[in-house]
Amino acid sequence: MTTPILIDCDPGHDDAIALLLALASPEVELLGVTTVSGNQTLEKTTANALRVLEFVGRGDVEVAAGAEQPLVRPRFVAEYVHGESGLDGPSLPPPRGGPVARHAVDFLAERILGSDEPVTLLPVGPLTNVALLLARHPAAAERLGRIVLMGGSIAEGNVTPAAEFNVWADPEAAERVFSSGLDVTMIGLDVTHRALVTPTHAARLRDSGRTGTMVAELLDFYSVFHRETYGFDGSPIHDAVAVAHVLRPGLVETAHRHVAVETGSELCRGRTVVDLWRRTGHEPNAHVGVGIDAEAFVELLLERLATLD
């Protein structure tokens, strides 16, 4: 059976690769893409989503632009990771098409309600659009099959020592999503940092055709931050792990646990406090990624990307 999915993203190198993985995978049908401010401004993340879709001849997939800034925090973009365009590296032309004339949140609701099968929502940027969907279209949100988000972390941070970027960027939105009562899966740094795409993998991609070459060029740029910051010999493709988890159940091992988001303190802003050892007595509200078959993930990713022209 094909799973209908919607991807809410902020491309972003790993977002772009996540989109390509979804497009290359027969297990899922991409019903549309929504964009949010995050790795770069909304204008740039929207243009980047369109550029990636058009690059692989999938300009037919509709893109709807969403929130220009977090619910209450000032906007902060990750230019230091993704560059001035948000997708630095390959020379992709500007988009020919544009986003649909509807707000992402209304577009998401329409697609969720219009689907015969329950939709899986994949938020892989700050959770602003998803929080707005919960507030403006609760009936549509209730119809979701599940939410598989990239964000958070049990034990480490990447934007501060305490927090992962997507949750840190809009912690109030993330808090609403984790406490929504919906079926939420959290793919955090604990798993994404353990599945690196190395220069050897990038060389394989470069040899695998036009899209593989473009992805290798994305990785040339994206790997610099990971080498300089963490000493990694490769790049975590965070957002693609969320997609892979939908494609291959079991690839990421999860534990059903309670997750709270820190919104009060500045020191721990956006920390996902995961009750791993069940100390609070709170009912679990998320399936938290705790392990990953890194080799299977990378092989799946490379194999699928090689099928795109």
Return residues touching Ca ion (CB under 5 A): 10, 12, 15, 124-125, 239
Nearer to ligand BDR, 140 or 178 (CB): 178
Give one DSSP letter per residue of 107-147, joined into a string: HHHHHHHH-SSPPEEEE-S-SHHHHHHHHH-HHHHHH-SEE
Nearer to ligand BDR, 140 or 268 (CB): 268
- The nearest distance, CB 153 to Ca ion, in angstroms, is 14
Nearer to ligand BDR, 78 or 140 (CB): 78
- The nearest distance, CB 12 to ligand BDR, in angstroms, is 4
Catalytic residues: 238
Strands, E assignment, the chain: 3-9, 28-35, 63-65, 120-123, 146-150, 184-187, 196-197, 235-236, 252-257, 259-261, 272-274, 286-292
Q: What is the CA radius of gyration of the chain?
A: 18
Please give the residue ranges that form the binding site for ligand BDR (CB under 6 A). Answer: 12, 14-15, 39, 78, 81, 124-125, 150, 158, 164-166, 238-239
Burial of residue 281 (number of CB atoms within 10 Å: 0-12, 13-18, 19+):
exposed
- The nearest distance, CB 84 to Ca ion, in angstroms, is 17
Closest-by-Cβ residue to ligand BDR is 165
Nearer to ligand BDR, 140 or 163 (CB): 163
Q: State the residue for tokens 């969403």.
A: 66
- The nearest distance, CB 82 to ligand BDR, in angstroms, is 7
Is 293 strand, coil or helix?
coil
